[in-house]
Chains A and B, each alone.
Chain A
């Protein structure tokens, strides 16, 4: 067991970070906010912590706290224009947000280190802390799932005019989902910066955006298991496919297409739904649920 841990430790740590960022991405989608802003939030969190710790000698816990506040503040401000858009337009707006963040990180060179980024960040994170952060995140989302906020998020995703007709102040709840997404994204960005020694803007570009989206698409957009399953696939796949290392992009691409086409809810969600169906006592007259076809997070 311990030898397994030592040989795979970096893999496990990156898996945990991917799970955290996956939850940030999932929270938005799950509430029907078509956001791909997670990469931008994690960039803000990572830079806030890195700058505070390396330049100003701020203690690590305080720096993480500041990152969390920055993540929430920026996502709250961003939620206002986002509430006026929907679907593809939200995706484009959040994509633009990520691009602006990266461009500004490059521009304010004296502050952010420009393209070279920031190095010499103390490496204080380890598997234990990362695991703790993931567990706290899971606890919060598990709580959401079992209480009023979770019910509202599910309603927003499926039909926000119904939610409004039941008295839900839908803009506030959209904002809540987005702020939680920003908070989690920024915190895991901060944790990541405290793990990797140095950060640079390219770490948070198009690829980071695709990565956290991939985790949620592969795993699932609605259940707690989703991001875990997705991050697990993303962690294990390159190991299994070592001989194909040169063609990892092709492999990832093919898997994305196959999963979304044939398991549109993602591996983790499909598993959870399947278990639920098994556990249900089924009268024979009932029609089976329609497979996946009309189940989508966006609308």
Chain B
């Protein structure tokens, strides 16, 4: 039972990681919170649902949703962030514009779905279970774990080993200096938003499939969850986000199983608060915290 809960938590955590990675990637590059990330996640589930409803094979719907949400995310950057970057001091403004985009995307989804809860038709993904050491794991869960592992490794390789990663680091530390080095900041932002959006969209499809429930407000709890994940992992830290996401997934699964789901939410957000208090930089982050008025 305990092991089963830990396993289930790990699978949820793996999906949270996909969501939180994009969120933290955007923060890492431009120090802005993207509150539209939850709506992009939701859009992924919607696109995949309507694609399968049109009779397209599921693997194709998944791919389509991933690419489409990446594109939506780039548009979000264009609409909500680009203008603000030019003016500097965008920290507050970005929260507001991304809430604006969030409202727009949710409204569209609400209209499209007539405020109904949708679900993938039975058998969209083969229902199959494997048993070992007294635990059960579904084919879907196995696939999710494998997919997330591959994506996280690919992203890590992309960020740490390729020239794109160097450009990201250059732009995030100093946009003007990197422009002098011939790095196009706009291109870097486009790429980070695309990757972030695609990961969120993919997470949306996987969540929609695992919980068999797709509705226009589904992004909200995941966005809030992502705050917890990225703060505990350290805002802007990719490996931190992955570890923290799996940790949160397990904590959540255990607290729901042994306590209650409301208490689970309270505990998780209390965890965020405690982390902010005692490890303001998270477990892996390097983002600066601040205590005014005291000697440094």
Contacts of A254 in B (CB 8 A): 100, 104
Query: A89: which of B89, B111, B289 is its contact (CB, 8 Å)?
Result: B289
Please tell me which stretch of A9-17, A96-104, A116-124, A184-192 contacts chain B, meaning at least 4 of its Cβ atoms lie within 8 angstroms of it.
Answer: A96-104
Interface residues of A in 84-102 (CB under 8 A from B): 84-89, 91-93, 95-97, 99-100, 102
Q: Indicate whether B273 reaches chain A with its CB closer than 8 angstroms.
A: yes
Interface residues of B in 69-103 (CB under 8 A from A): 79-80, 83-84, 87-93, 95-97, 99-103
Q: Is the CB of A296 within 8 A of B91?
A: yes
Over the window 239-266 of chain A, the binary record of Cβ atoms lying under 8 Å from chain B Cβ atoms (1 yes, 0 no) is 0000000111110111111001100100
How far apart are the CA atoms of A95 and B276 in the complex, in Å? 12
Q: Indicate whether B266 reaches chain A with its CB closer than 8 angstroms.
A: yes
Q: A-B pairs with CB below 8 Å: how many?
A: 165
Contacts of B62 in A (CB 8 A): none
Closest to A78 in B: B273
Q: Indicate whether A298 reaches chain B with its CB closer than 8 angstroms.
A: yes
- Using known A-B contacts A104-B266, A164-B292, determine if residue A296 contacts B89 with beta carbons closer than 8 Å: yes
Q: Is the CB of B89 within 8 A of A256?
A: no
Q: Indicate whether B265 reaches chain A with its CB closer than 8 angstroms.
A: yes
Q: Indicate whether A237 reaches chain B with its CB closer than 8 angstroms.
A: no
Q: Is the CB of A92 within 8 A of B276?
A: yes
Q: Indicate whether B277 reaches chain A with its CB closer than 8 angstroms.
A: yes
Contacts of A86 in B (CB 8 A): 289-290, 292
Q: Is the CB of A250 within 8 A of B97?
A: no
- Using known A-B contacts A84-B291, A93-B276, determine if residue A294 contacts B87 with beta carbons closer than 8 Å: yes
Q: Is the CB of A100 within 8 A of B266?
A: yes
Q: Indicate whether A50 reaches chain B with its CB closer than 8 angstroms.
A: no
Over the window 100-131 of chain B, the binary record of Cβ atoms lying under 8 Å from chain A Cβ atoms (1 yes, 0 no) is 11111011101100000000000000000000
Over the window 255-288 of chain A, the binary record of Cβ atoms lying under 8 Å from chain B Cβ atoms (1 yes, 0 no) is 1110011001000000000000000000000000
Q: How far is the CB of B35 from chain A (nearest CB, A)?
A: 9
How far apart are the CA atoms of A88 and B231 in the complex, in Å? 11
- Using known A-B contacts A161-B292, A264-B93, determine if residue A81 contacts B276 with beta carbons closer than 8 Å: yes
Interface residues on A, range: 35 or more
Interface residues of B in 245-296 (CB under 8 A from A): 260, 262-263, 265-266, 269-270, 272-273, 276-277, 280, 289-293
- Using known A-B contacts A84-B277, A92-B227, A256-B96, determine if residue A171 contacts B292 with beta carbons closer than 8 Å: yes
Contacts of B185 in A (CB 8 A): none
Q: How far is the CB of B227 from chain A (nearest CB, A)?
A: 5
Contacts of B262 in A (CB 8 A): 103-104, 106-107
Q: Indicate whether A170 reaches chain B with its CB closer than 8 angstroms.
A: yes
Q: Is the CB of A92 within 8 A of B100?
A: no
How far apart are the CA atoms of A261 and B78 in the complex, in Å? 12
Q: Is the CB of B87 within 8 A of A293?
A: yes
Q: Is the CB of A260 within 8 A of B96?
A: yes
Query: A91: which of B33, B93, B102, B291 is its contact (CB, 8 Å)?
Result: B33
Q: Is the CB of A103 within 8 A of B266?
A: yes
How far apart are the CA atoms of A253 and B266 in the complex, in Å? 29
How far apart are the CA atoms of A252 and B100 in the complex, in Å? 7
Q: Indicate whether B169 reaches chain A with its CB closer than 8 angstroms.
A: no
Contacts of B101 in A (CB 8 A): 253, 257
Q: Is the CB of A103 within 8 A of B280?
A: no
Q: Is the CB of A257 within 8 A of B269?
A: no
Q: Indicate whether A134 reaches chain B with its CB closer than 8 angstroms.
A: no
Q: Indicate whether A238 reaches chain B with its CB closer than 8 angstroms.
A: no
Q: Indicate whether B11 reaches chain A with its CB closer than 8 angstroms.
A: no
Q: Is the CB of B265 within 8 A of A261?
A: no
How far apart are the CA atoms of A182 and B289 in the complex, in Å? 24
Contacts of B280 in A (CB 8 A): 84-85, 89
30 residue pairs from A and B, CB less than 8 Å apart: A84-B291, A85-B289, A86-B289, A88-B27, A88-B32, A89-B235, A93-B273, A96-B272, A96-B276, A100-B265, A100-B270, A100-B273, A106-B265, A164-B293, A171-B292, A206-B220, A249-B103, A249-B110, A250-B108, A252-B100, A257-B101, A261-B83, A261-B84, A264-B87, A293-B89, A295-B89, A296-B91, A297-B92, A298-B89, A299-B91
A-binding residues in B (CB < 8 A): 27, 31-33, 79-80, 83-84, 87-93, 95-97, 99-104, 106-108, 110-111, 220, 224, 227-228, 231, 235, 260, 262-263, 265-266, 269-270, 272-273, 276-277, 280, 289-293
B-binding residues in A (CB < 8 A): 29, 34, 81, 83-89, 91-93, 95-97, 99-100, 102-104, 106-107, 160-161, 164, 169-171, 206, 210, 213-214, 217, 246-250, 252-257, 260-261, 264, 292-299
